[in-house]
Amino acid sequence: MNNIGLVAIGRNEGERLKRCLESARTQVAHLVYVDSGSTDGSVNLARALGADVVELDMSIPFTAARARNEGFQRLRARVPELEFVQFVDGDCELDPAWIRRAIAHLGQHPEAAVVCGRRKEKNPEASVYNRLCDIEWDTPIGETQACGGDALIRVAAFEQVHRYANDIIAGEEPDMCYRMRQEGWSIWRIDHP
């Protein structure tokens, strides 16, 4: 477990961030939270939960890719032997068995760079938008073209393709996955939340 870390990104996530980090603490040894200008105490909350915090310089244009890369850079500096990194948005929670299942899949597929699961909306009945998101996230199981922002990534593959492209405003995951596939890696979606 010492070779696995997590990078969460967010802004003003409050209780959602608390649930996110608490869901990760028992699954990974190293937590980094990247904050993009919160005013709600998210930074102090993350520190209180044991996360190393990166506060982005907001004078530089923000992208989620940049936030993830800066979090990874901090994580990699703290844990040189890091083999796997779980990226997660600060308003999401990890299923209690997620890391174990994802690592097992990567162990069975040494050519796999990325594994993601079935992202679920916590309250799909709350609004039509929540329901549509839940439907949109129900994509086919198996080898796939790309992942979303919540995925476990093999560090060797991530570094081989020079991480996320900082200047991409949206769609940084498909771009990174495309570059990984060009290098011979595969991307997988497993049947697990």
Instruction: Say how many domains are in the chain.
Output: 1
Instruction: Annotate 44-60 with DSSP letters as a single string.
Output: HHHHHTT-EEEE--TTS
Q: For residue 154, give the nearest of 133, 132, 177, 170 by alpha carbon.
A: 177
Q: What is the DSSP letter of 20?
A: H
Give the Cα separation of 90 and 108 in Å (integer).
29
Average pLDDT of the chain? 95
Q: What is the CATH number of the domain that holds 10?
A: 3.90.550.10
Q: For residue 32, give the nearest of 86, 98, 104, 83 by alpha carbon.
A: 86
pTM for the whole structure: 0.94
**138 has a pLDDT exceeding 90:** no
37-54 average pLDDT score: 96
Give the Cα separation of 135 and 54 in Å (integer).
33
Q: What is the pLDDT of residue 51?
A: 97
Q: What is the pLDDT of residue 180?
A: 98
Give the Cα separation of 173 and 166 in Å (integer).
11
Q: Each residue of 65-85: pLDDT tens digit? A: 999 999 999 999 999 999 999
**9 has a pLDDT exceeding 90:** yes
Give the Cα separation of 160 and 180 in Å (integer).
8
Q: State which amino acid sits at residue 47.
A: R
Q: Which residues contact 146 (CB under 8 A, 6 or more apart)?
A: 173, 174, 177, 178, 187
| Residue 3: strand pairing partners | none
Q: CA angle at residue 152 from 148 to 154, to 5 degrees?
A: 120
Q: What is the pLDDT of residue 119?
A: 87
Give the Cα separation of 7 and 24 in Å (integer).
10
Domain that holds residue 131: 4-189
141-166 average pLDDT score: 96
Q: Each residue of 11-28: pLDDT tens digit? A: 999 999 999 999 999 999
Q: What is the pLDDT of residue 28?
A: 96
